[in-house]
């Protein structure tokens, strides 16, 4: 499993050379123009969110006069950012999807599955476009309290965003070199839809067996054949609600809006952008340089540096992909020069990605706070030690594997050199501590502190490191919008599915089963850990949290497990699944970033995953590690 991230130019059929004024060439020109017309406002919306939230922080803490309209305006702009970002991700084929089966297929079957995935997205958009319009039309009559404008301005983002996805889907299907693939995929999609409609009378008599049919078999079939996870969730939820219940189809859109509109989720795009900033300004390089001068001369030293650097950088960016992209290119060339094997490098990089999932301001922590109501401040406080425990278990394995490493050719840096690299790194090292302190001490919220971090990083890049490439700013803003849109669309679709599961009575059944597990609280934690390792590898982390968090957290409280302790166990277990081959999406992201073939790391990663499991067991059996400082 991996994130299939390609540009529009790399989508199937785009590689064929077409004459300048052929039909395909005209379609690509239209696609390119429309792409810019969507990307530019999406990038501007990221910038606008930063300005609006920063203005609120300055007004409240600088002038002691809060802007009562800032959060409302930020919320209005946020839904537009989420939907336009999802459109950009759709056009670029950057929505998260599982491609294990697709990759193993022959060229012809692979092309058909790619086309079928596009058709599945098209069908979902067509189904929910009119309900989205109805939802926006109803919101016109709701007035916002502070700005006193119609909420329809915000809700209009849903039908417009879905409409743009429809346009890009049609353009991409028309651009296919082999029209027979398009016809075949459309025929299959329409046939499945028609078959389900014909079976509606039977489906309504099956009761909760429909949960197995739609949310296990249906979602499983869609995900494993390469349909983006957000559309797989959305299609299954829409089909279940419209074919087996009396709920109107507009409920799907309403739940999507609810899932994507939590103000705390604003931290997602801001921390993604912050992660890109620290790489561009040289802050990550400065931190890694200091750690390398401190530990690079000891056996396995650069491996320790990799673990430590990921721990520090995770406190800044909140994005695992950004963390790995900031650290790997700095360390890997020197580690290879010292004889480290490529497989071991990508294996440890993946393991450190799993290890740092609980380190604030992790996007997963923010998501848990959003969907379960657990205090984000408490999560940020509780996340530091569990990550450190896993770092220690990884370092213990590194020590064992590299205890006989020959470093006779490596010179030990002088204290002067170490001191100089430390002075250079101070502004960069200070940022994660500033972010954590500001949130934990209540100076600013997780969303607000990200804007402070962005301003800090910009000033540090311009004034301290003198490294700020203005030409990279626009692509970074577009990348932020695209990644954020992909994440938020999953959260919206998963919120709809979670609501459907709750309404069916599944949550009550699950609660009874989980409460009856032997072993009490420990048994519940162990079963949850195993479940989220599996879910993290198949569904990817955020949708797994959004789907099952609201169901399982109340059960955790009822059996006596502290909600922060449970959060840490769930996140670490999910991280292990997320970065473990053969399905873990994070593992393939690490391979792509380090430019190492996935096969190379499969064997070395087994030991690191076992070390992470040992660390997870320690966190499970010692709750103080998670809640000792609350």
pLDDT, tens digit, 9 for 90 and up, residues 579-592: 887 667 678 777 76
Band (pLDDT 50/70/90 cuts) for residue 599 is: confident
Give residue 22's pLDDT: 55
pLDDT, tens digit, 9 for 90 and up, residues 501-531: 777 777 677 767 777 777 778 988 999 899 8
Give residue 316's pLDDT: 62
Given a cut of 90, is residue 613 above it in pLDDT?
A: yes
End-to-end CA distance of the chain: 37
Average pLDDT of span 24-36: 85
Pairwise CA distance, residues 309 & 568, whole Å = 21
Neighbouring-strand partners of residue 150: 143
Pairwise CA distance, residues 222 & 95, whole Å = 14
Given a cut of 50, is residue 252 above it in pLDDT?
A: yes
Q: Do 97 and 538 touch, CB atoms closer than 8 A?
A: no
Give residue 127's pLDDT: 93
Band (pLDDT 50/70/90 cuts) for residue 315 is: low
Pairwise CA distance, residues 120 & 108, whole Å = 18
Between 172-181, 447-456, 536-545, the lowest mean confidence (pLDDT) is in 536-545
| Burial (0-12, 13-18, 19+ Cβ within 10 Å), 605 | buried
Nearest CA among 297, 300, 301, 319 for reference residue 310: 319
Nearest CA among 123, 164, 227 for reference residue 38: 164
Band (pLDDT 50/70/90 cuts) for residue 356 is: confident
CA angle 43, 47, 49 (to 5 degrees): 115
pLDDT, tens digit, 9 for 90 and up, residues 254-310: 888 888 887 777 877 887 788 788 878 888 778 778 877 877 677 777 788 888 888
Nearest CA among 399, 420, 403 for reference residue 293: 420
pLDDT, tens digit, 9 for 90 and up, residues 421-466: 889 888 888 887 777 777 666 666 767 777 888 888 899 989 888 8
Give residue 386's pLDDT: 93
Q: Where are the domains of the chain?
A: 19-261, 266-468, 505-627
Of the ranges 41-50, 205-214, 356-365, 570-579, the best mean pLDDT one = 41-50
Given a cut of 90, is residue 339 above it in pLDDT?
A: no
| Burial (0-12, 13-18, 19+ Cβ within 10 Å), 433 | exposed
pLDDT, tens digit, 9 for 90 and up, residues 77-108: 999 999 999 999 999 988 877 776 777 788 88
User: What average pLDDT is seen over the chain?
Assistant: 82
Pairwise CA distance, residues 252 & 254, whole Å = 5
Given a cut of 80, is residue 231 above it in pLDDT?
A: yes
Pairwise CA distance, residues 480 & 61, whole Å = 27
Tokens 């849903």, residue? 158
Average pLDDT of span 547-561: 84
Cα dihedral: 418, 423, 427, 432 (round 10): 40
Give residue 475's pLDDT: 92
């Amino acid at each position: 499993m991996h994130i299939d991230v390609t540009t529009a130019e790399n989508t199937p059929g785009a590689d064929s050379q077409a004459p300048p004024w052929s039909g395909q060439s005209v379609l690509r020109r239209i696609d390119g123009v429309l792409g810019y017309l969507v990307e530019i406002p999406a990038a501007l919306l990221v910038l606008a969110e930063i300005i609006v939230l920063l203005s609120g922080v300055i007004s409240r803490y600088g002038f002691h006069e809060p802007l009562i309209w800032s959060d409302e305006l930020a919320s209005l702009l946020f839904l537009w950012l989420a939907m336009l970002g999802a459109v950009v991700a759709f056009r670029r084929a950057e929505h998260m999807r599982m491609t294990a089966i697709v990759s193993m297929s022959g060229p012809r079957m692979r092309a058909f599955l790619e086309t079928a995935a596009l058709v599945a997205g098209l069908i979902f958009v067509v189904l929910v476009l009119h309900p989205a319009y109805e939802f926006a039309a109803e919101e016109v009559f709701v007035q916002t309290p502070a700005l006193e404008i119609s909420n329809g301005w915000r809700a209009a983002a849903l039908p417009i965003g879905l409409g743009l996805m429809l346009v890009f889907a049609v353009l991409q299907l028309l651009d296919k070199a082999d029209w027979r693939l398009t016809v075949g995929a459309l025929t299959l999609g329409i046939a499945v839809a028609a078959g389900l409609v014909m079976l509606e009378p039977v489906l309504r008599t099956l009761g909760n067996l429909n949960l197995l049919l739609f949310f296990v078999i249906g979602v499983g079939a869609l995900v494993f054949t390469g349909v983006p996870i957000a559309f797989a969730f959305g299609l299954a939820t829409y089909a279940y609600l419209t074919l087996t219940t009396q709920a109107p189809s507009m409920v799907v859109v309403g739940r999507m809006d609810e899932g994507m509109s939590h103000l705390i989720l604003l931290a997602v795009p801001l921390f993604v952008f912050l992660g890109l900033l620290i790489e561009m300004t040289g802050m990550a390089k400065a931190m890694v340089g200091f750690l390398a001068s401190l530990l690079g001369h000891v056996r396995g030293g650069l491996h320790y540096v990799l673990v430590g650097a990921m721990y520090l950088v995770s406190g800044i960016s909140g994005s695992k992909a950004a963390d790995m992209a900031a650290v790997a290119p700095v360390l890997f060339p020197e580690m290879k020069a010292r004889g480290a094997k490529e497989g071991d490098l990508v294996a440890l990089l993946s393991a450190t990605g799993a290890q740092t999932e609980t380190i604030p301001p992790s996007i997963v922590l923010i998501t848990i706070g959003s969907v379960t109501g657990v205090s984000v401040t408490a999560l940020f406080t509780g996340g530091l030690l569990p990550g450190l425990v896993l770092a220690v278990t990884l370092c213990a394995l590194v020590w064992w594997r590299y205890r006989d490493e020959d470093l006779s050719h490596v010179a030990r840096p002088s204290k002067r050199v170490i001191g100089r690299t430390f002075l250079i790194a101070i502004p960069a090292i200070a940022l994660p501590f500033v972010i954590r302190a500001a949130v934990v001490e209540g100076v600013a919220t997780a969303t607000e502190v990200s804007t402070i971090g962005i301003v800090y990083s910009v000033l540090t890049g311009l004034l301290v490191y003198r490294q700020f490439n203005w030409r990279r700013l626009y692509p970074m803003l577009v990348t932020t919008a695209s990644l954020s849109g992909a994440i938020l669309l999953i959260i919206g679709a998963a919120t709809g599915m979670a609501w459907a599961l709750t309404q069916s009575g599944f949550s009550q059944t699950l609660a009874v089963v989980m409460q009856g597990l032997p072993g009490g609280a420990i048994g519940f934690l162990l079963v949850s850990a195993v479940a989220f390792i599996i879910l993290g590898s198949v569904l990817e982390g955020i949708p797994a949290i959004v789907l099952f968090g609201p169901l399982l957290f109340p059960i955790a409280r009822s059996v006596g497990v502290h909600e922060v302790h449970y959060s840490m166990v769930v996140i670490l277990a999910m991280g292990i699944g997320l970065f473990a081959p053969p399905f873990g999406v994070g593992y393939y992201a690490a391979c792509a970033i380090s430019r190492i073939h996935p096969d190379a790391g499969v064997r070395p990663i087994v030991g690191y995953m076992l070390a992470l499991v040992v660390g997870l067991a320690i966190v499970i059996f010692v709750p103080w590690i998670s809640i000792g400082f609350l």
